[in-house]
Amino acid sequence: MQIYRVGGAVRDRLLQLPVYDNDWVVVGASVEQMLAAGYQPVGKDFPVFLHPKTHEEYALARTERKSGQGYQGFEFFASPQVSLEEDLQRRDLTINAIAEDDAGRLIDPYGGQQDLQARLLRHVSPAFREDPLRVLRVARFAARLHHLGFRVAPQTRALMQQISASDELSTLSAERVWKELERALGEADPQQFLLTLRRCGALQRLLPEWQRLCDGDDDPDPDRASESDSGLDPDAYASPALRGLRAAVALGCDSRERIALLGCYIGPDAVQQLFERLKAPREYRDFGLLCSRHYRSLLDLEQRDAESQLQLFQALDLGRRPQRLAPFIRTVQAYQQAQCGAAEPFGQGERLARIVSALATLQPKALVEAGFTGKALGQELQRRQIERIRTLP
Ligand code: CTP
């Protein structure tokens, strides 16, 4: 049997990016040989194993044939007769279809190195179509590699358009879509995820709530190098949401915060609908809803009276959940920067932080000891909180 390093690890090493995990392809071996060598099988349908010591993934060389619609409709054909070239051919992008042998020699039958040089995300073969998730993967790679100058090849975009125009995307499970989306939004240029999906028609199909967030930046001819597409300057985007994403990246917002930021542009009802459909994790839902409901209260905090400032503190439950403060401030600050420009200070955020520290020392316990109970206790606490907020500079 021969073993080759393959996929993202080879690609990222050639791009001089950090490599976190290795995938391996095994040619000329049977399932029985792998088990006998101590590899642990993963799942029951995939001919994939974990190395007994390193726990890295070793997959038997395989071809994939579609037996029905969508991801479920797959048949894997793995056998010792499947060649490395056949295995590489069923992969998504040429830059992901380069193998490396144990002597460091590259096996690259589909021009992956050339496309790395040319900065092209190009599909390997019509087999691309067999997994519609690849439309999202290409958009995710666009978000990750845009700063290096990568673009989607025109023929790949055409194929993505065909997939989106059919109803193949609707066969993807919510979990798979969510996972790609969550990773893509965490990349260096998350705007490119939205723009790539929009250009092929997949945004309207999968994430219709976000469709109009790209308005103004949807270059009808994305192959013409355009200024607004450069993504290097936040002001280069016309769309407030894409400018906001740029600002969020610069402020160090994580994926959860960036998704919540987009929620501010579409409103709580659409946020709720999107999160439910995608079965988003609870922490994403809660935070996204809070931001979309309350970002305005922070934006004009300094114009609000003490009662209203306290209401924001209560709505965010910052007394019990002070860890929400920094993410909320970062998210709303990104929104504000998209409107006003990066140089503006964010005094509202500082004020909310001061409110949280000032109210942290007001404990109901002291009031109980002073004899307050029931409704009177609540009223007295609120009175003192408002008083504290009023005395803040
Ligand atoms: N692959 C594919 N189609 C998919 C998923 C994966 O062709 N839908 C292939 C690609 O060759 C890919 C490899 O399997 O390079 C490993 O997949 P994965 O680990 O999901 O992605 P990576 O390319 O390694 O990228 P990442 O850095 O995002 O993990």
- Give tens-digit pLDDT for 86-109: 999 999 999 999 999 999 999 999
Atom 16 of ligand 1, residue of closest alpha carbon:
7
What CA dihedral angle connects 22, 28, 32 and 35, to 10 degrees?
-20
- Return the structure tokens found at 118: 């040319």
pLDDT at 228: 44
Atom 28 of ligand 1, residue of closest alpha carbon:
8
Atom 19 of ligand 1, residue of closest alpha carbon:
8
CB contact at 8 A, 218 and 199: yes
The rounded distance, in Å, linking the Cα atoms of 328 and 308 is 17
Index of the ligand 1 atom closest to the CA of residue 23 = 16
283 Cα–ligand 1 center, Å: 27
Ligand 1 site, residue 7, Cβ cutoff 6 A: yes
Confidence check: pLDDT of 53 > 80: yes
- Which of 234 and 316 is assigned the larger pLDDT? 316
Index of the ligand 1 atom closest to the CA of residue 88 = 11
Helix, strand counts (H, E) of the chain:
18, 11
Q: What is the mean pLDDT of residues 343-360?
A: 92
Atom 14 of ligand 1, residue of closest alpha carbon:
7
Ligand 1 site, residue 122, Cβ cutoff 6 A: no
CB contact at 8 A, 90 and 64: yes
CB contact at 8 A, 360 and 322: yes
Pocket test for ligand 1, best of 12, 14, 22, 23 (most atoms within 8 A of CB): 23
96 Cα–ligand 1 center, Å: 7
pTM of the model: 0.92
C-alpha distances in Å from residue 154, one per residue of 123, 161, 200, 297, 358? 10, 10, 11, 44, 57
Atom 13 of ligand 1, residue of closest alpha carbon:
7
Q: What is the mean pLDDT of residues 286-312?
A: 97
Ligand 1 site, residue 132, Cβ cutoff 6 A: no
- Return the structure tokens found at 41: 């099988």
Ligand 1 site, residue 194, Cβ cutoff 6 A: no
Q: In the chain, what percentage of residues exceed pLDDT 70?
A: 92
pLDDT at 340: 86
CB contact at 8 A, 13 and 72: no
Atom 8 of ligand 1, residue of closest alpha carbon:
134
Q: What is the mean pLDDT of residues 11-36?
A: 94
100 phi and psi, to 5 degrees? -135, 130
Beta-strand pair 2-6/74-78: unpaired
pLDDT tens, position by position, 101-155: 999 999 999 999 999 999 999 999 999 999 999 999 999 999 999 999 999 999 9
Per-residue pLDDT band at 77 (split at 50, 70, 90): confident
Instruction: Choose from 27-41, 52-66, 111-125, 332-346 the range with maximum mean pLDDT.
Output: 111-125
Ligand 1 site, residue 8, Cβ cutoff 6 A: yes
Query: Worst-scoring range by mean pLDDT, 189-193, 205-209, 212-216, 330-334?
Result: 212-216
Pocket test for ligand 1, best of 6, 92, 95 (most atoms within 8 A of CB): 92
Ligand 1 site, residue 285, Cβ cutoff 6 A: no
Ligand 1 site, residue 214, Cβ cutoff 6 A: no
pLDDT at 234: 44
Query: Worst-scoring range by mean pLDDT, 7-16, 40-49, 242-251, 378-387?
Result: 40-49
Confidence check: pLDDT of 223 > 70: no
Per-residue pLDDT band at 233 (split at 50, 70, 90): low
Pocket test for ligand 1, best of 42, 96, 128, 169 (most atoms within 8 A of CB): 96
